[in-house]
Amino acid sequence: MEKMKGLVKVKPEPGAELLHDLPVPEVKGDEILVKVKCAAICGTDLHIYDWTPYAQQRVKPPMVFGHEFSGEVVEVGPEVKKFRVGDRVAGETHIACGMCFQCETGNAHICESMKIIGVHTEGCFADYIKIPAGCGWKLADSVSYEVGALLEPLGVAVHSVLADAVNGMSVVIYGCGPIGLMAVNVASACGATRVIAVEPVAEKLAIAKKMGATHTLQPGKDDVIAGILDLTGGRGADVIVELSGNVQAISECFRGLRKGGRVTLAGLPNGPVTLDLVDGVIYKEAKILGVTGRRMYDTWWQIEALLGAGKLNLEPVIGGIFPLERYQEAFAALHAGRPGKMLLTI
């Protein structure tokens, strides 16, 4: 039996091991086997690596983890019609059941029986990954494998920003992690008149400027709400996209919203959040949208259109590229707070 290498969460404890004697997955039915070319490390992967309570509740070692990737199709199951050997693909993380109410009403991304690649099934930090054909997205020839590995998190940014209109509007992005930086890029590309990035780390704000932020505000140094109001003629922002997950930021961002404006919440807080519902929401008639993942597959078509039109520049969001064998360096860079996405080449 052919063997492969893969980064495995071997035990229910911090860390992971690179093993070289894993079996190559066997495809059947409507499955494809992808030779992974590039993978990106996500916050979820950090939880698994560090073995936080989040991971403990979801992951059952031993298993290969990782879920943001691109690669080449090397084998297809007998029922596959969508792909051929040699196709270049990125991966959609959600494995939907296709039968529940959500799936049958156009909301498969919030399937009632959702499974997540690299969390509930074997992941992509390996030479090969087996996925349902429905989780593959064919890459245009102009899209590199490095950019291809960013499309899954880019989808969260696209879904968050374009959950409603932003063209001709002022947009505030809270949090300039990789998804926040991409959200800045999307808002700028889609016609926002002002894109205001809010982030405490100066290095991340510098990247935000490269990705289209017209203004930046640094908590701890700037009065963020006063800055937003000043930049919007005292009315407040038309749209606020919260991607930091910071409890205080979530509570305060409504103060910077104009009456009738929209707040999209996608950052995951670590604790309870207190909102001023009277002045911040009810009297403002604020619209609040929760966003998770990517709409399947509306968001992917939006991504393809934006990339095809040359509207996005994702290169600044790449914080480092490491061979899989140097995975410890990549995770250490993230633990040290290095801005941007860390990519693993395989």
Q: For residue range 164-197, what is the model confidence (pLDDT) as tens digits?
A: 999 999 999 999 999 999 999 999 999 999 999 9
pLDDT in tens, 26-84: 999 999 999 999 999 999 999 999 999 989 999 999 999 999 999 999 999 999 999 99
The per-residue pLDDT for 332 is: 98
Q: Does residue 3 surpass a pLDDT of 80?
A: yes
Tell me which fold the domain 157-290 belongs to.
Rossmann fold (3.40.50)
The per-residue pLDDT for 271 is: 86
Percent of the chain with pLDDT over 70: 100
Percent of the chain with pLDDT over 90: 98
Rounded mean pLDDT of 309-326?
97
Q: 5: Cβ–Cβ under 8 A, 6 or more apart, which residues? A: 18, 19, 20, 22, 126, 127, 324
Residues labelled catalytic: 44, 47
The per-residue pLDDT for 183 is: 98
pLDDT in tens, 270-298: 889 999 999 999 999 999 999 999 999 99
Asked whether this chain's domains 3-150+314-345 and 157-290 adopt the same fold, the reply is: no
How does the average pLDDT of the chain come out, rounded? 97
d(CA 344, CA 19): 16
End-to-end CA distance of the chain, in Å?
A: 20
The per-residue pLDDT for 1 is: 65
- pLDDT band per the 50, 70, 90 thresholds, residue 199: very high
Contact (Cβ atoms closer than 8 angstroms) between residue 136 and residue 83? yes
d(CA 47, CA 331): 11
CATH number of 3-150+314-345: 3.90.180.10
For the chain, the three-class secondary structure string (H helix, E strand, C coil) is CCEEEEEEECCCCCCCEEEEEEECCCCCCCEEEEEEEEEECCHHHHHHHHCCHHHHCCCCCCEECCCEEEEEEEEECCCCCCCCCCCEEEECCEECCCCCHHHHCCCHHHCCCCEEECCCECCCCECEEEEEHHHEEECCCCCCHHHHCCHHHHHHHHHHHCCCCCCCCEEEEECCCHHHHHHHHHHHHCCCCEEEEECCCHHHHHHHHHCCCCEEECECCECHHHHHHHHCCCCCEEEEEECCCCHHHHHHHHHHEEEEEEEEECCCCCCCCCCCHHHHHHCCCCEEEECCCCCCCHHHHHHHHHHHCCCCCCHHHEEEEEEHHHHHHHHHHHHCCCCCEEEEEC
The per-residue pLDDT for 270 is: 82
For the chain, the domains span 3-150+314-345, 157-290
